Structure 1
Amino acid sequence: MVEPKFLNRNIVGYESSDLSLDQIQAKARDFYARQAGLFAKILSESWSEYTNISHPAFKNDLDLIRQVKELVSPGAKGLDAGCGPLAREVFCFYQDGYDMYGIDVVPENIQTALEYHPSLAERLFLADLTQPLDFPDNSFDFIISNTVIQHINLNCLTDVTFPELTRILKPGGVIQLMFRSGNGTLTIQDVEFNDQRSFYLYQPEVILEILARHGLSLVPEENGSLGGIIYVTDVRPMENCIFCVRKTPS
Protein backbone atom coordinates (compact mmCIF):
# COMPACT_ATOMS: atom_id res chain seq x y z
CA MET A 1 0.00 0.00 0.00
CA VAL A 2 1.31 3.44 -0.94
CA GLU A 3 0.69 5.94 1.80
CA PRO A 4 -0.79 9.33 0.87
CA LYS A 5 1.13 12.53 0.91
CA PHE A 6 -0.24 14.88 3.55
CA LEU A 7 -0.35 18.30 1.94
CA ASN A 8 -1.91 20.49 4.60
CA ARG A 9 -2.82 19.96 8.21
CA ASN A 10 -4.48 22.55 10.39
CA ILE A 11 -4.81 21.22 13.92
CA VAL A 12 -5.82 24.45 15.58
CA GLY A 13 -9.37 24.96 14.42
CA TYR A 14 -11.89 24.09 11.75
CA GLU A 15 -10.60 26.65 9.29
CA SER A 16 -7.20 27.49 7.82
CA SER A 17 -5.97 30.36 5.70
CA ASP A 18 -5.75 28.33 2.49
CA LEU A 19 -8.76 26.05 3.02
CA SER A 20 -11.89 27.98 3.85
CA LEU A 21 -15.05 26.27 5.03
CA ASP A 22 -16.78 26.79 1.68
CA GLN A 23 -13.74 25.58 -0.27
CA ILE A 24 -13.68 22.21 1.44
CA GLN A 25 -17.36 21.60 0.74
CA ALA A 26 -16.90 22.71 -2.87
CA LYS A 27 -13.82 20.51 -3.29
CA ALA A 28 -15.77 17.48 -2.06
CA ARG A 29 -18.64 18.06 -4.49
CA ASP A 30 -16.20 18.60 -7.37
CA PHE A 31 -14.31 15.40 -6.47
CA TYR A 32 -17.44 13.25 -6.54
CA ALA A 33 -18.67 14.86 -9.76
CA ARG A 34 -15.40 13.94 -11.47
CA GLN A 35 -14.76 10.59 -9.80
CA ALA A 36 -18.26 9.10 -9.41
CA GLY A 37 -17.64 6.36 -11.97
CA LEU A 38 -14.30 5.23 -10.56
CA PHE A 39 -15.55 5.47 -6.99
CA ALA A 40 -18.57 3.31 -7.79
CA LYS A 41 -16.37 0.75 -9.54
CA ILE A 42 -14.07 0.47 -6.51
CA LEU A 43 -17.01 0.14 -4.12
CA SER A 44 -18.68 -2.48 -6.32
CA GLU A 45 -15.62 -4.71 -6.31
CA SER A 46 -15.00 -5.06 -2.57
CA TRP A 47 -16.02 -4.02 0.93
CA SER A 48 -13.55 -1.72 2.66
CA GLU A 49 -11.23 -3.45 5.11
CA TYR A 50 -9.69 -1.61 8.07
CA THR A 51 -6.75 -1.81 10.46
CA ASN A 52 -6.22 -0.64 14.05
CA ILE A 53 -9.82 -1.63 14.84
CA SER A 54 -10.88 -0.90 18.40
CA HIS A 55 -13.77 -3.42 18.47
CA PRO A 56 -12.99 -7.15 18.07
CA ALA A 57 -16.27 -7.87 16.27
CA PHE A 58 -15.83 -5.19 13.59
CA LYS A 59 -14.00 -6.13 10.36
CA ASN A 60 -15.32 -4.28 7.30
CA ASP A 61 -18.17 -2.21 5.88
CA LEU A 62 -20.56 -5.14 6.08
CA ASP A 63 -20.42 -4.68 9.84
CA LEU A 64 -21.80 -1.16 9.42
CA ILE A 65 -24.95 -2.74 8.03
CA ARG A 66 -24.97 -5.39 10.74
CA GLN A 67 -24.65 -2.69 13.42
CA VAL A 68 -27.84 -1.00 12.24
CA LYS A 69 -29.74 -4.26 11.84
CA GLU A 70 -29.00 -5.05 15.50
CA LEU A 71 -30.87 -1.88 16.48
CA VAL A 72 -33.92 -1.68 14.19
CA SER A 73 -36.79 -3.96 13.25
CA PRO A 74 -36.84 -5.94 9.98
CA GLY A 75 -38.51 -3.93 7.23
CA ALA A 76 -37.89 -0.59 8.97
CA LYS A 77 -37.84 2.60 6.92
CA GLY A 78 -34.36 4.03 6.46
CA LEU A 79 -32.45 6.83 4.77
CA ASP A 80 -28.86 6.93 3.58
CA ALA A 81 -28.00 10.62 3.93
CA GLY A 82 -25.15 10.95 1.44
CA CYS A 83 -25.54 7.66 -0.42
CA GLY A 84 -22.65 8.26 -2.80
CA PRO A 85 -22.05 7.03 -6.35
CA LEU A 86 -23.07 3.41 -5.80
CA ALA A 87 -25.83 3.72 -3.17
CA ARG A 88 -24.51 0.37 -2.02
CA GLU A 89 -26.05 0.43 1.44
CA VAL A 90 -29.41 1.59 0.05
CA PHE A 91 -29.40 -1.41 -2.29
CA CYS A 92 -28.33 -3.86 0.41
CA PHE A 93 -31.01 -2.79 2.87
CA TYR A 94 -33.62 -2.69 0.07
CA GLN A 95 -32.72 -6.21 -1.05
CA ASP A 96 -33.12 -7.40 2.53
CA GLY A 97 -36.67 -6.07 2.73
CA TYR A 98 -36.12 -2.67 4.33
CA ASP A 99 -38.02 0.39 3.08
CA MET A 100 -34.79 2.15 2.16
CA TYR A 101 -34.09 5.49 0.45
CA GLY A 102 -31.01 7.53 -0.37
CA ILE A 103 -30.13 11.18 -0.96
CA ASP A 104 -27.02 12.87 -2.29
CA VAL A 105 -26.07 16.41 -3.28
CA VAL A 106 -24.05 15.40 -6.37
CA PRO A 107 -26.13 14.62 -9.50
CA GLU A 108 -23.37 12.40 -10.89
CA ASN A 109 -23.56 10.22 -7.78
CA ILE A 110 -27.28 9.63 -8.22
CA GLN A 111 -26.90 9.00 -11.96
CA THR A 112 -24.06 6.51 -11.45
CA ALA A 113 -25.90 4.71 -8.65
CA LEU A 114 -28.94 4.24 -10.89
CA GLU A 115 -26.75 2.80 -13.64
CA TYR A 116 -25.72 0.09 -11.19
CA HIS A 117 -29.11 -0.28 -9.48
CA PRO A 118 -32.05 0.67 -11.77
CA SER A 119 -34.44 -0.83 -9.21
CA LEU A 120 -33.72 2.17 -6.96
CA ALA A 121 -35.17 4.67 -9.45
CA GLU A 122 -37.97 5.69 -7.07
CA ARG A 123 -35.74 5.64 -4.00
CA LEU A 124 -32.81 7.96 -4.76
CA PHE A 125 -33.14 11.76 -4.65
CA LEU A 126 -31.01 14.87 -4.91
CA ALA A 127 -30.81 16.73 -1.60
CA ASP A 128 -28.35 18.99 0.20
CA LEU A 129 -27.56 18.23 3.84
CA THR A 130 -26.58 21.85 4.39
CA GLN A 131 -30.17 22.90 3.59
CA PRO A 132 -33.59 21.97 5.04
CA LEU A 133 -34.73 18.55 3.82
CA ASP A 134 -37.97 17.92 1.99
CA PHE A 135 -39.21 15.14 4.28
CA PRO A 136 -41.98 15.32 6.89
CA ASP A 137 -41.19 15.12 10.59
CA ASN A 138 -40.68 11.61 12.00
CA SER A 139 -40.28 9.99 8.56
CA PHE A 140 -37.58 7.38 9.19
CA ASP A 141 -36.81 4.62 11.68
CA PHE A 142 -33.10 4.92 10.99
CA ILE A 143 -30.64 7.13 9.13
CA ILE A 144 -27.11 6.25 8.07
CA SER A 145 -24.60 8.92 7.08
CA ASN A 146 -21.17 7.42 6.65
CA THR A 147 -18.06 9.31 5.49
CA VAL A 148 -20.30 12.33 4.85
CA ILE A 149 -20.04 14.88 7.67
CA GLN A 150 -16.29 15.15 7.04
CA HIS A 151 -17.32 17.26 4.01
CA ILE A 152 -19.56 19.63 6.00
CA ASN A 153 -18.34 22.43 8.24
CA LEU A 154 -19.18 22.50 11.93
CA ASN A 155 -21.52 25.49 11.70
CA CYS A 156 -23.66 23.74 9.08
CA LEU A 157 -23.67 20.53 11.10
CA THR A 158 -24.75 22.39 14.22
CA ASP A 159 -27.33 24.71 12.68
CA VAL A 160 -28.81 22.64 9.83
CA THR A 161 -27.61 19.08 9.23
CA PHE A 162 -28.09 17.53 12.66
CA PRO A 163 -31.32 19.41 13.48
CA GLU A 164 -32.78 18.28 10.15
CA LEU A 165 -31.72 14.64 10.54
CA THR A 166 -33.19 14.64 14.03
CA ARG A 167 -36.42 16.21 12.80
CA ILE A 168 -37.05 13.54 10.17
CA LEU A 169 -36.07 10.68 12.53
CA LYS A 170 -38.87 8.98 14.44
CA PRO A 171 -38.75 8.96 18.26
CA GLY A 172 -36.69 5.96 19.30
CA GLY A 173 -34.99 5.96 15.88
CA VAL A 174 -31.28 5.46 15.24
CA ILE A 175 -28.64 7.49 13.39
CA GLN A 176 -25.36 5.84 12.38
CA LEU A 177 -22.36 8.09 11.69
CA MET A 178 -18.88 7.33 10.41
CA PHE A 179 -16.40 10.17 9.85
CA ARG A 180 -12.73 11.15 9.87
CA SER A 181 -11.64 11.75 13.44
CA GLY A 182 -9.24 14.35 14.70
CA ASN A 183 -9.00 18.13 14.91
CA GLY A 184 -9.00 20.80 12.25
CA THR A 185 -8.71 20.14 8.51
CA LEU A 186 -6.59 17.79 6.44
CA THR A 187 -5.66 17.67 2.76
CA ILE A 188 -4.16 14.55 1.21
CA GLN A 189 -3.17 13.25 -2.19
CA ASP A 190 -5.44 10.21 -2.39
CA VAL A 191 -3.43 7.63 -4.32
CA GLU A 192 -6.50 5.46 -4.91
CA PHE A 193 -7.92 8.20 -7.15
CA ASN A 194 -4.74 10.13 -7.97
CA ASP A 195 -6.61 13.18 -6.73
CA GLN A 196 -6.30 15.76 -3.98
CA ARG A 197 -8.94 15.63 -1.26
CA SER A 198 -9.71 17.77 1.79
CA PHE A 199 -11.61 16.87 4.94
CA TYR A 200 -12.86 18.28 8.20
CA LEU A 201 -11.70 16.22 11.17
CA TYR A 202 -14.01 15.93 14.17
CA GLN A 203 -13.63 14.50 17.63
CA PRO A 204 -16.54 12.15 18.40
CA GLU A 205 -17.11 13.85 21.75
CA VAL A 206 -17.75 17.15 19.97
CA ILE A 207 -20.27 15.56 17.61
CA LEU A 208 -21.98 13.64 20.42
CA GLU A 209 -22.34 16.84 22.46
CA ILE A 210 -24.13 18.54 19.55
CA LEU A 211 -26.37 15.52 19.00
CA ALA A 212 -27.24 15.41 22.70
CA ARG A 213 -28.81 18.88 22.39
CA HIS A 214 -31.35 17.27 20.07
CA GLY A 215 -32.18 14.37 22.34
CA LEU A 216 -29.81 11.84 20.74
CA SER A 217 -27.67 9.63 22.96
CA LEU A 218 -24.88 7.16 22.23
CA VAL A 219 -25.90 3.52 21.85
CA PRO A 220 -23.55 1.72 24.27
CA GLU A 221 -21.72 -1.54 23.74
CA GLU A 222 -23.51 -4.36 25.53
CA ASN A 223 -22.38 -7.99 25.60
CA GLY A 224 -20.13 -7.61 22.59
CA SER A 225 -22.61 -5.65 20.45
CA LEU A 226 -21.29 -3.10 17.96
CA GLY A 227 -22.03 -0.19 20.28
CA GLY A 228 -20.02 2.61 21.79
CA ILE A 229 -17.42 4.49 19.75
CA ILE A 230 -15.49 2.29 17.32
CA TYR A 231 -12.22 3.47 15.79
CA VAL A 232 -10.76 2.13 12.54
CA THR A 233 -7.99 3.15 10.15
CA ASP A 234 -8.73 3.14 6.42
CA VAL A 235 -6.37 2.54 3.47
CA ARG A 236 -5.31 6.19 3.09
CA PRO A 237 -4.45 5.77 6.09
CA MET A 238 -6.79 7.97 8.14
CA GLU A 239 -8.49 7.31 11.45
CA ASN A 240 -12.29 7.11 11.40
CA CYS A 241 -14.80 6.74 14.19
CA ILE A 242 -18.17 5.00 14.05
CA PHE A 243 -21.12 5.13 16.41
CA CYS A 244 -24.90 5.03 16.60
CA VAL A 245 -27.15 7.37 18.53
CA ARG A 246 -30.78 6.90 19.45
CA LYS A 247 -33.45 9.59 19.59
CA THR A 248 -35.30 9.90 22.86
CA PRO A 249 -38.65 8.08 22.59
CA SER A 250 -41.70 10.30 22.88
Structure 2
Amino acid sequence: MSWLFPALGFIIALLILGIVVYLSTSRRYESSNTVANSYDEWTEDGILEFYWGEHIHLGHYGSPPQQKDFLAAKSDFVHEMVRWGGLDKLPPGTTVLDVGCGIGGSSRILARDYGFAVTGITISPQQVKRAQELTPQGVSAQFQVDDAMALSFPDGSFDVVWSIEAGPHMPDKAVFAKELMRVLKPDGLLVVADWNQRDDRQIPLNFWEKPVMQQLLDQWSHPAFASIEGFSELLEETGLVKGKTITADWTEETLPSWLDSIWQGIARPSGLVRFGASGFIKSLREVPTLILMRLAFGAGLCRFGMFRAVRGFSGK
Protein backbone atom coordinates (compact mmCIF):
# COMPACT_ATOMS: atom_id res chain seq x y z
CA MET A 1 0.00 0.00 0.00
CA SER A 2 3.04 2.29 0.12
CA TRP A 3 2.34 3.27 -3.48
CA LEU A 4 -1.18 4.51 -2.71
CA PHE A 5 -0.43 7.98 -1.37
CA PRO A 6 2.10 8.93 -4.10
CA ALA A 7 -0.40 7.70 -6.72
CA LEU A 8 -3.20 9.76 -5.19
CA GLY A 9 -0.89 12.77 -5.05
CA PHE A 10 -0.03 12.34 -8.72
CA ILE A 11 -3.71 12.09 -9.69
CA ILE A 12 -4.58 15.19 -7.65
CA ALA A 13 -1.68 17.08 -9.23
CA LEU A 14 -2.94 16.12 -12.70
CA LEU A 15 -6.44 17.27 -11.85
CA ILE A 16 -5.14 20.60 -10.58
CA LEU A 17 -3.04 21.02 -13.71
CA GLY A 18 -6.04 20.20 -15.90
CA ILE A 19 -8.25 22.71 -14.09
CA VAL A 20 -5.61 25.46 -14.32
CA VAL A 21 -5.13 24.90 -18.05
CA TYR A 22 -8.89 24.61 -18.52
CA LEU A 23 -9.64 27.91 -16.81
CA SER A 24 -6.82 29.78 -18.52
CA THR A 25 -7.49 28.62 -22.09
CA SER A 26 -11.23 29.02 -22.64
CA ARG A 27 -12.49 29.26 -26.23
CA ARG A 28 -15.25 31.84 -25.90
CA TYR A 29 -17.40 32.41 -28.96
CA GLU A 30 -16.61 35.72 -30.66
CA SER A 31 -17.55 35.05 -34.28
CA SER A 32 -17.69 32.24 -36.81
CA ASN A 33 -13.90 32.58 -37.03
CA THR A 34 -13.63 31.43 -33.39
CA VAL A 35 -15.44 28.21 -34.29
CA ALA A 36 -13.46 27.69 -37.49
CA ASN A 37 -10.13 28.26 -35.73
CA SER A 38 -11.02 25.86 -32.91
CA TYR A 39 -11.94 23.06 -35.32
CA ASP A 40 -8.92 23.78 -37.50
CA GLU A 41 -6.70 23.35 -34.45
CA TRP A 42 -8.44 20.18 -33.27
CA THR A 43 -8.14 18.70 -36.76
CA GLU A 44 -4.53 19.66 -37.38
CA ASP A 45 -3.16 18.18 -34.15
CA GLY A 46 -5.12 14.93 -34.70
CA ILE A 47 -5.88 14.36 -31.00
CA LEU A 48 -9.65 14.51 -31.34
CA GLU A 49 -9.66 12.11 -34.29
CA PHE A 50 -7.33 9.70 -32.47
CA TYR A 51 -9.65 9.39 -29.46
CA TRP A 52 -13.06 10.08 -31.05
CA GLY A 53 -12.52 8.52 -34.47
CA GLU A 54 -14.22 9.79 -37.63
CA HIS A 55 -17.36 10.84 -35.75
CA ILE A 56 -17.04 14.00 -33.69
CA HIS A 57 -20.37 13.44 -31.96
CA LEU A 58 -21.83 11.32 -29.18
CA GLY A 59 -22.62 7.62 -29.44
CA HIS A 60 -25.90 5.73 -29.15
CA TYR A 61 -25.93 3.09 -26.40
CA GLY A 62 -29.56 1.94 -26.60
CA SER A 63 -32.42 2.38 -24.13
CA PRO A 64 -31.67 1.41 -21.47
CA PRO A 65 -27.97 2.01 -22.26
CA GLN A 66 -25.78 -1.05 -22.79
CA GLN A 67 -22.03 -1.44 -22.57
CA LYS A 68 -20.63 -0.73 -26.00
CA ASP A 69 -17.38 0.14 -27.71
CA PHE A 70 -17.05 3.92 -27.87
CA LEU A 71 -16.35 4.13 -31.59
CA ALA A 72 -18.99 1.53 -32.45
CA ALA A 73 -21.56 3.55 -30.48
CA LYS A 74 -20.82 6.56 -32.69
CA SER A 75 -21.42 4.59 -35.90
CA ASP A 76 -24.56 3.12 -34.34
CA PHE A 77 -25.77 6.65 -33.65
CA VAL A 78 -25.77 7.44 -37.38
CA HIS A 79 -27.78 4.32 -38.24
CA GLU A 80 -30.24 4.97 -35.38
CA MET A 81 -30.69 8.55 -36.61
CA VAL A 82 -31.28 7.28 -40.14
CA ARG A 83 -34.04 4.96 -38.88
CA TRP A 84 -35.58 7.53 -36.56
CA GLY A 85 -35.61 10.12 -39.31
CA GLY A 86 -37.05 7.75 -41.92
CA LEU A 87 -34.07 8.04 -44.25
CA ASP A 88 -33.90 4.25 -44.51
CA LYS A 89 -37.07 4.44 -46.63
CA LEU A 90 -35.49 6.79 -49.19
CA PRO A 91 -34.03 5.51 -52.48
CA PRO A 92 -30.37 5.51 -53.53
CA GLY A 93 -29.38 8.77 -55.17
CA THR A 94 -31.27 10.87 -52.61
CA THR A 95 -29.43 14.17 -52.23
CA VAL A 96 -28.33 14.99 -48.67
CA LEU A 97 -26.76 18.10 -47.18
CA ASP A 98 -24.77 17.28 -44.03
CA VAL A 99 -24.55 20.56 -42.09
CA GLY A 100 -21.58 20.62 -39.75
CA CYS A 101 -20.08 17.47 -41.25
CA GLY A 102 -16.84 17.48 -39.26
CA ILE A 103 -14.31 15.19 -40.92
CA GLY A 104 -17.07 13.41 -42.81
CA GLY A 105 -17.83 10.30 -40.76
CA SER A 106 -21.62 10.55 -41.05
CA SER A 107 -21.46 11.66 -44.67
CA ARG A 108 -19.46 8.58 -45.61
CA ILE A 109 -21.94 6.24 -43.88
CA LEU A 110 -24.88 7.93 -45.60
CA ALA A 111 -23.17 7.64 -48.98
CA ARG A 112 -21.63 4.17 -48.58
CA ASP A 113 -24.36 2.30 -46.69
CA TYR A 114 -27.48 3.99 -48.06
CA GLY A 115 -26.38 5.09 -51.54
CA PHE A 116 -27.13 8.78 -50.98
CA ALA A 117 -25.40 11.62 -52.81
CA VAL A 118 -23.99 13.63 -49.91
CA THR A 119 -22.60 17.13 -49.69
CA GLY A 120 -20.92 17.84 -46.36
CA ILE A 121 -20.28 21.39 -45.23
CA THR A 122 -18.25 22.77 -42.35
CA ILE A 123 -16.83 26.17 -41.48
CA SER A 124 -13.38 24.63 -40.93
CA PRO A 125 -11.04 24.38 -43.96
CA GLN A 126 -8.91 21.79 -42.15
CA GLN A 127 -11.95 19.58 -41.57
CA VAL A 128 -12.79 19.74 -45.28
CA LYS A 129 -9.23 18.76 -46.14
CA ARG A 130 -9.25 15.84 -43.72
CA ALA A 131 -12.72 14.68 -44.81
CA GLN A 132 -11.50 14.55 -48.41
CA GLU A 133 -8.44 12.55 -47.37
CA LEU A 134 -10.56 10.00 -45.51
CA THR A 135 -13.15 9.51 -48.25
CA PRO A 136 -12.31 6.69 -50.70
CA GLN A 137 -12.86 7.08 -54.42
CA GLY A 138 -16.28 5.86 -55.46
CA VAL A 139 -18.00 7.05 -52.26
CA SER A 140 -20.52 9.72 -53.26
CA ALA A 141 -19.61 12.28 -50.62
CA GLN A 142 -18.10 15.67 -51.34
CA PHE A 143 -17.07 18.39 -48.91
CA GLN A 144 -16.75 22.15 -48.91
CA VAL A 145 -16.36 25.13 -46.62
CA ASP A 146 -19.65 26.89 -46.01
CA ASP A 147 -21.42 28.85 -43.28
CA ALA A 148 -24.62 27.31 -41.93
CA MET A 149 -25.86 30.80 -41.09
CA ALA A 150 -25.77 31.74 -44.78
CA LEU A 151 -25.72 28.59 -46.90
CA SER A 152 -24.44 29.09 -50.44
CA PHE A 153 -27.04 26.77 -52.02
CA PRO A 154 -30.21 27.95 -53.80
CA ASP A 155 -33.64 27.38 -52.30
CA GLY A 156 -34.90 23.80 -52.66
CA SER A 157 -31.53 22.19 -53.42
CA PHE A 158 -31.69 18.95 -51.38
CA ASP A 159 -34.01 16.04 -50.64
CA VAL A 160 -32.65 15.79 -47.08
CA VAL A 161 -30.90 18.19 -44.71
CA TRP A 162 -29.04 16.39 -41.91
CA SER A 163 -27.15 17.90 -38.99
CA ILE A 164 -25.52 16.51 -35.84
CA GLU A 165 -24.47 18.73 -32.94
CA ALA A 166 -23.88 21.87 -35.01
CA GLY A 167 -26.61 24.06 -33.50
CA PRO A 168 -24.77 25.16 -30.32
CA HIS A 169 -22.24 27.02 -32.51
CA MET A 170 -24.97 29.09 -34.21
CA PRO A 171 -25.38 32.61 -32.77
CA ASP A 172 -28.92 33.11 -34.15
CA LYS A 173 -31.00 29.95 -33.89
CA ALA A 174 -33.87 31.46 -35.91
CA VAL A 175 -31.56 32.16 -38.87
CA PHE A 176 -30.11 28.66 -38.55
CA ALA A 177 -33.60 27.11 -38.60
CA LYS A 178 -34.58 29.18 -41.65
CA GLU A 179 -31.45 28.21 -43.58
CA LEU A 180 -31.93 24.50 -42.87
CA MET A 181 -35.50 24.60 -44.15
CA ARG A 182 -34.79 26.96 -47.06
CA VAL A 183 -32.43 24.61 -48.92
CA LEU A 184 -34.87 21.67 -48.70
CA LYS A 185 -36.99 20.71 -51.67
CA PRO A 186 -40.78 20.66 -51.16
CA ASP A 187 -41.58 17.47 -49.22
CA GLY A 188 -37.89 17.27 -48.32
CA LEU A 189 -36.87 15.94 -44.93
CA LEU A 190 -34.96 17.71 -42.15
CA VAL A 191 -33.33 15.53 -39.47
CA VAL A 192 -31.31 17.22 -36.72
CA ALA A 193 -29.58 15.96 -33.56
CA ASP A 194 -28.34 18.55 -31.08
CA TRP A 195 -27.20 19.44 -27.61
CA ASN A 196 -29.90 21.49 -25.95
CA GLN A 197 -30.51 23.09 -22.60
CA ARG A 198 -33.57 22.76 -20.43
CA ASP A 199 -36.35 25.16 -21.45
CA ASP A 200 -35.62 28.01 -19.04
CA ARG A 201 -38.96 29.61 -19.83
CA GLN A 202 -40.51 26.78 -17.85
CA ILE A 203 -37.81 26.30 -15.19
CA PRO A 204 -35.29 29.18 -15.03
CA LEU A 205 -31.64 28.33 -14.40
CA ASN A 206 -30.79 28.57 -10.71
CA PHE A 207 -27.78 30.11 -8.94
CA TRP A 208 -25.60 27.00 -9.47
CA GLU A 209 -26.72 26.19 -13.00
CA LYS A 210 -25.88 29.58 -14.51
CA PRO A 211 -22.08 29.37 -14.05
CA VAL A 212 -22.06 25.72 -15.17
CA MET A 213 -23.93 26.67 -18.34
CA GLN A 214 -21.54 29.56 -18.95
CA GLN A 215 -18.56 27.20 -18.75
CA LEU A 216 -20.18 24.78 -21.20
CA LEU A 217 -20.61 27.68 -23.61
CA ASP A 218 -17.20 29.30 -23.12
CA GLN A 219 -15.01 26.21 -23.31
CA TRP A 220 -16.10 24.98 -26.76
CA SER A 221 -17.01 28.17 -28.67
CA HIS A 222 -20.76 27.99 -28.11
CA PRO A 223 -22.71 31.27 -28.19
CA ALA A 224 -25.88 29.63 -26.77
CA PHE A 225 -27.87 26.41 -26.50
CA ALA A 226 -31.47 26.26 -27.66
CA SER A 227 -34.06 24.18 -25.83
CA ILE A 228 -35.80 21.32 -27.61
CA GLU A 229 -39.10 23.18 -27.32
CA GLY A 230 -37.58 26.48 -28.43
CA PHE A 231 -35.84 25.18 -31.54
CA SER A 232 -38.93 23.22 -32.56
CA GLU A 233 -40.90 26.47 -32.38
CA LEU A 234 -38.27 28.30 -34.44
CA LEU A 235 -38.48 25.66 -37.18
CA GLU A 236 -42.26 26.07 -37.38
CA GLU A 237 -41.98 29.86 -37.30
CA THR A 238 -40.06 29.73 -40.59
CA GLY A 239 -43.43 29.02 -42.25
CA LEU A 240 -41.72 26.25 -44.22
CA VAL A 241 -42.67 23.23 -42.10
CA LYS A 242 -45.44 20.95 -43.30
CA GLY A 243 -47.54 19.92 -40.30
CA LYS A 244 -45.63 19.74 -37.02
CA THR A 245 -42.00 19.24 -36.06
CA ILE A 246 -41.42 15.82 -34.44
CA THR A 247 -39.02 15.81 -31.49
CA ALA A 248 -37.45 13.22 -29.19
CA ASP A 249 -35.10 13.25 -26.22
CA TRP A 250 -32.07 10.95 -26.62
CA THR A 251 -30.30 12.01 -23.43
CA GLU A 252 -30.46 8.52 -21.92
CA GLU A 253 -29.22 6.83 -25.10
CA THR A 254 -26.19 9.13 -25.46
CA LEU A 255 -25.27 9.80 -21.81
CA PRO A 256 -22.46 7.19 -21.46
CA SER A 257 -20.48 9.00 -24.19
CA TRP A 258 -19.15 11.66 -21.82
CA LEU A 259 -17.35 9.37 -19.40
CA ASP A 260 -16.38 7.03 -22.26
CA SER A 261 -14.60 10.02 -23.81
CA ILE A 262 -12.45 10.40 -20.71
CA TRP A 263 -11.86 6.65 -20.48
CA GLN A 264 -10.36 6.67 -23.98
CA GLY A 265 -7.37 8.60 -22.65
CA ILE A 266 -6.79 5.92 -20.01
CA ALA A 267 -7.53 2.90 -22.19
CA ARG A 268 -5.32 4.12 -25.05
CA PRO A 269 -2.04 5.23 -23.47
CA SER A 270 -0.34 5.11 -26.88
CA GLY A 271 -1.72 8.61 -27.31
CA LEU A 272 0.85 9.82 -24.78
CA VAL A 273 3.64 8.57 -27.01
CA ARG A 274 2.06 9.80 -30.19
CA PHE A 275 1.23 13.35 -29.08
CA GLY A 276 3.80 13.93 -26.35
CA ALA A 277 3.57 16.27 -23.36
CA SER A 278 1.78 19.06 -25.22
CA GLY A 279 -0.84 16.63 -26.51
CA PHE A 280 -1.31 15.25 -23.02
CA ILE A 281 -1.94 18.73 -21.63
CA LYS A 282 -4.34 19.55 -24.47
CA SER A 283 -6.27 16.38 -23.74
CA LEU A 284 -6.22 16.99 -20.00
CA ARG A 285 -7.73 20.46 -20.37
CA GLU A 286 -10.88 18.94 -21.92
CA VAL A 287 -11.60 16.65 -18.94
CA PRO A 288 -13.34 19.27 -16.74
CA THR A 289 -15.69 20.18 -19.60
CA LEU A 290 -16.48 16.54 -20.29
CA ILE A 291 -17.26 16.02 -16.60
CA LEU A 292 -19.45 19.15 -16.53
CA MET A 293 -21.26 17.93 -19.65
CA ARG A 294 -21.94 14.57 -17.98
CA LEU A 295 -23.26 16.29 -14.88
CA ALA A 296 -25.39 18.74 -16.87
CA PHE A 297 -26.97 16.07 -19.07
CA GLY A 298 -27.41 13.69 -16.15
CA ALA A 299 -29.11 16.34 -14.00
CA GLY A 300 -31.48 17.59 -16.71
CA LEU A 301 -29.80 20.97 -17.21
CA CYS A 302 -28.95 19.82 -20.74
CA ARG A 303 -30.84 17.43 -23.04
CA PHE A 304 -30.03 15.67 -26.27
CA GLY A 305 -32.70 16.72 -28.75
CA MET A 306 -33.83 15.09 -31.99
CA PHE A 307 -35.84 17.01 -34.59
CA ARG A 308 -37.66 15.86 -37.72
CA ALA A 309 -39.58 18.15 -40.07
CA VAL A 310 -40.93 18.04 -43.63
CA ARG A 311 -40.68 21.01 -45.99
CA GLY A 312 -44.09 22.17 -47.16
CA PHE A 313 -45.11 23.53 -50.55
CA SER A 314 -45.29 27.33 -50.90
CA GLY A 315 -44.01 27.73 -47.38
CA LYS A 316 -46.82 25.65 -45.81
State the TM-score, normalized to the length of structure 1: 0.72
Offset of residue 197 of structure 1:
2.0
Q: 1:166 to 1:45 in 2, by over 3 A?
A: closer
Superposed CA deviations along residues 140-194 of structure 1, whole A, max 9, x for unmatched, are 111111100111113xx313x22222121011111111221115854249xxxxx
Does structure 1 residue 129 correspond to structure 2 residue 157?
A: no
Q: 1:121 to 1:176 in 2, by over 3 A?
A: closer
Q: Which residue matches 1:13?
A: none
Superposed CA deviations along residues 80-114 of structure 1, whole A, max 9, x for unmatched, are 011002x1111111113111111111001101111
My pick for the range that moved more, 58-67 or 71-80, is: 58-67
Q: 1:108 to 1:229 in 2, by over 3 A?
A: same
* Secondary structure of 1:60 counterpart: helix
CA RMSD after TM alignment: 3.7
Q: Which residue matches 2:35?
A: 28
Contact 1:40/1:113 (8 A) holds in 2: no
- Rounded to whole Å, the distance in 2 between the matches of 1:77 and 1:118 is 19
Offset of residue 63 of structure 1:
0.9
Amino acid at match of 2:307: F
- Rounded to whole Å, the distance in 1 between the matches of 2:229 and 2:55 is 34
* Secondary structure of 2:54 counterpart: helix
Amino acid at match of 2:39: Y
Q: Which 5+ residue runs of structure 1 have no aligned equivalent?
A: 9-17, 190-194, 221-227
- Rounded to whole Å, the distance in 2 between the matches of 1:147 and 1:126 is 17
- Rounded to whole Å, the distance in 2 between the matches of 1:19 and 1:114 is 27
Contact 1:186/1:201 (8 A) holds in 2: no
- Rounded to whole Å, the distance in 2 between the matches of 1:53 and 1:145 is 22
Offset of residue 116 of structure 1:
1.0
Q: Which residue matches 1:173?
A: 188
Relative to its length, the structure with more strand (as a share) is 1
- Rounded to whole Å, the distance in 2 between the matches of 1:122 and 1:70 is 16
* Secondary structure of 2:77 counterpart: coil
Moved over 6 A (4+): none
Contact 2:35/2:169 (8 A) holds in 1: yes
Alignment of 1:50-129 (within 5 A): 50=60, 60-70=77-87, 72-75=89-92, 76-85=94-103, 87-95=104-112, 96-119=114-137, 123-129=142-148
State the TM-score, normalized to the length of structure 2: 0.58
Contact 1:47/1:61 (8 A) holds in 2: no
- RCO comparison, higher one (Cα < 8 Å, 6+): 1
Offset of residue 121 of structure 1:
8.7
Contact 1:181/1:241 (8 A) holds in 2: yes
Q: Which residue matches 1:244?
A: 308
Q: In the comparison of the two structures, how many residue pairs are matched?
A: 219
- Rounded to whole Å, the distance in 2 between the matches of 1:90 and 1:44 is 10
Identity percentage of aligned residues? 19
Amino acid at match of 1:176: V
Q: Which residue matches 1:197?
A: 220
